[in-house]
Amino acid sequence: MTRQRTFYSCTDCGTHAVQWAGRCPGCGAWNTLREEVEAVRAEPTASVVAAAVPITEVDPRHWHPAPTGVDELDRVLGGGLVDGSVTLLGGEPGIGKSTLLLQAAASVARSGRSVLYISGEESAAQVQGRAARVDALVDGLWFSSENDVHAVVALIERHDPSLVVVDSIQTTHDPSLGATPGTLTQVRGCALQLIDITKRRQTATVLVGHVTKEGELAGPRVLEHAVDTVLAFSGDRHHALRLLRAAKHRFGSTDELGLFEMTERGMVGVPDPSALFLADRRAGVPGSVVVPTLDGHRPLLVEMQALVASAGPGGPRRSAQGIDPGRLALLVAVLEQRVGLPLGGLDVYVSVVGGVRVGEPGSDLGIALALVSAVRDRPLPDDLVALGEVGLAGELRQVSQTPRRVSEAARLGFGRIVLPESAPRDDLHAATLRAATLGEALDVVGLGLASVGAEALK
């Protein structure tokens, strides 16, 4: 016999409540409790006694990753997918999750391993058309549009694949749960069943997850705790660049970054992203500077652009694309108070070219130099890069892994780099220009009031 149980779940944290309330008792969010109906089986179930083994006898070979054949994906995964692991891939609709996984599935199938691709969102004809476009029509790649989780488990038992892709977990449902597909009860129940079959069969499973309007994985966080790896696929729809990061990874580091370019032939890995970001850079333009950033362990050279204009009615505007608006406001205040740059009556626009987001403070010096260059209408040298954090007193502070960033700049032919005085003094760059304060940095590059930097750059 079964009975139904009604409760309320928080869409943000998954906390259960017996009655509705305006505020979640778990995370404190407002208006996030949603009614759920769950079928509860009254029959008692027999307990199963599990066997335990000495930890010294555990075979470590079960934890070795198997490559997917997609280099940038394998980079983020630390070599590939581990048998018996469950990976959750999240991203906005249309960002390219299905395309990436279809290419990975075809690559695994080409290596002689069988793959089961489950798509509850698209028909077989739609998936076949995409597979033809991205060259993923491969023997050994099995497809089903089934969305009943019991049928999916039966398919896994029948085909015994090395890799299972479920696109998406929100469309998979269990009729016995009595809830609407996509609700917290269904997502949680179906995911736990797929995790169970994955562990028992020692296959590798990838679940596709939707994201909320805030950019977080829907479903809720119980999925992130239950799976082994959480991947976030992001990018700007108006740009071809896509970024893949690991928010959680039980088998490796979460500091790696994978970059892809969306093309007509699918996702193409970008082995040299710095060269891609700087490919269209124009020389001799005021307000432009190159900054060596670090995303995880991967150094990236990006172009920062600044533009100023007379403010209209309503006060000056501060627009930031690709950087934290609060960081831009801080740098504007430092430039006004510590350097004497008049920005109070100007609209300020700062953008990171290429649709990339830069969240680290190591870009502060580059943004400040770009702003001064734009205000004074004087371009910075084309072979100059800037690296350093700017403090409220106008001092320059060193950032992590400076040698790696300098080496990346030197590899792409940049001859001069402005660094804080306290940065490591490794002999990695022939023309390292150092400054203790933002005012000194402006002098060094020829934008200061003293203009002593013009001589230093000759």
* pLDDT, position 331: 96
* pLDDT, position 30: 86
Same domain membership, residue 249 and residue 290: no
Helix or strand holding residue 344 (H, E): none
pLDDT in tens, 378-401: 999 999 999 999 999 999 999 999
* pLDDT, position 458: 39
* pLDDT, position 382: 93
47 assigned to some structural domain? no
- Of the listed ranges 47-51, 186-190, 391-395, 414-418, the least confidently predicted one is 47-51
pTM as predicted = 0.79
State the chain's mean pLDDT as an integer: 87
Residue 79 belongs to a domain with what CATH number?
3.40.50.300
Higher pLDDT, 456 or 406: 406
Same domain membership, residue 344 and residue 407: yes
46 assigned to some structural domain? no
Task: List the structure tokens of 228.
Answer: 């082994």
Same domain membership, residue 352 and residue 236: no
51 assigned to some structural domain? no
Domain boundary among 232, 247, 271: 271
59 assigned to some structural domain? no
Q: Among residues 432, 414, 412, 415, which one has the least CA distance to residue 423?
A: 432
Higher pLDDT, 44 or 452: 44
* pLDDT, position 244: 94
20-31 average pLDDT score: 84
Same domain membership, residue 81 and residue 19: no
Same domain membership, residue 241 and residue 282: no
Band the pLDDT of 439: cuts 50, 70, 90: very high
**pLDDT surpassing 70 at residue 215:** no
pLDDT in tens, 340-374: 999 989 999 999 998 788 989 999 999 999 999 99
Same domain membership, residue 166 and residue 247: yes
* pLDDT, position 452: 36
* pLDDT, position 430: 57
224-250 average pLDDT score: 88
Same domain membership, residue 291 and residue 258: no
Peptide bond into 85 cis (omega under 30): no
* pLDDT, position 218: 53
As a whole number of angstroms, the longest Cα–Cα distance in the chain is: 88
Classify residue 259 by burial, with Cβ atoms within 10 Å: 0-12, 13-18, 19+. buried
Same domain membership, residue 390 and residue 257: no
Distance of CA 457 to the CA centre of its chain: 38
10-16 average pLDDT score: 73
Domain boundary among 271, 295, 320: 271
pLDDT in tens, 309-325: 999 888 899 999 999 99
Total domain count, the chain: 3
Higher pLDDT, 240 or 105: 105
408 assigned to some structural domain? yes
Same domain membership, residue 284 and residue 428: yes
287 assigned to some structural domain? yes
**pLDDT surpassing 60 at residue 453:** no
Would you say 379 and 285 are in contact if contact means Cβ atoms under 8 Å apart? yes
Mapped onto helix, strand or coil, the DSSP state of residue 86 is strand
Q: Measured between alpha carbons, how far apart are the two ends of the chain, in Å?
A: 87
Same domain membership, residue 196 and residue 91: yes
* pLDDT, position 94: 86
CA 77, 80, 83, 87 dihedral sign is positive
Task: List the structure tokens of 110.
Answer: 């080409």
**pLDDT surpassing 50 at residue 454:** no
Band the pLDDT of 221: cuts 50, 70, 90: low
48 assigned to some structural domain? no
**pLDDT surpassing 80 at residue 5:** no
Domain residues for the domain of 451 are 276-456
Domain boundary among 206, 236, 271: 271
* pLDDT, position 457: 40
240 assigned to some structural domain? yes
Share of the chain above pLDDT 70, in %: 89
Same domain membership, residue 263 and residue 198: yes
pLDDT in tens, 263-274: 999 999 998 989
Would you say 62 and 202 are in contact if contact means Cβ atoms under 8 Å apart? yes
DSSP 354-422: TS----SGGGHHHHHHHHHHHHHT-PPPTTEEE--EE-TTSBEE--TTHHHHHHHHHHTT--EEEEETT
* pLDDT, position 270: 92
Q: What are phi and psi of 5, to 5 degrees?
A: -120, 130
Would you say 165 and 138 are in contact if contact means Cβ atoms under 8 Å apart? no
Dihedral angle computed from the Cα positions of residues 75, 78, 84 and 87, in that order, rounded to the nearest 10 degrees: -50
**pLDDT surpassing 80 at residue 6:** no
199-220 average pLDDT score: 77
Band the pLDDT of 68: cuts 50, 70, 90: very high
* pLDDT, position 93: 85
Residue 357 belongs to a domain with what CATH number?
3.30.230.10
Same domain membership, residue 267 and residue 280: no
